[in-house]
Amino acid sequence: MSRGADLPSGRDRSGPDREGRAGPYPPSLPRCGWPGLADPLYERYHDQEWGTPLHGESRLFEFLVLEGAQAGLSWRTILHRREGYRRAFGGFDPVKVAAYGPGKVQALMQDPGIVRNRRKVLSAIENARCV
């Protein structure tokens, strides 16, 4: 399912949907200071995803890939490349990613939609093989 750059919305926090996503942040609760107000994508991540349990193999693999890519960088940097990662890593399907070979690694190293760090790319592929 392609969502463009938008994060999930339109769900309440009563429980996760089929993909493990929670709904919008209740307006009655105060917002943490760390998302700030300057970045709507970061704010939506805080309001709709941060601190909610993840369910489903692809959602868990998505965050394994994204958290690995984030090492040494800001989470905001990775959020802005999330859709690039989704395209590059087969919609976060670990079965697809586990089959990536040297040619695909070379292609990923040229992909401006992701952080082009060979160790991080290889780590995502190896993690897919372990899932």
> Looking at the annotation, which residues are catalytic?
45, 67, 75
* Cα-to-chain-centroid distance, residue 129: 18
Residue 14 is given by DSSP the state T
Contacts of 62 (CB under 8 A, 6+ apart): 85, 86, 92
Contacts of 109 (CB under 8 A, 6+ apart): 116, 118, 121
DSSP character string of 78-98: HHTTHHHHHHHTGGG-HHHHH
Q: Angle formed by the axes of helices 57-70 and 118-130, to 10°?
A: 150
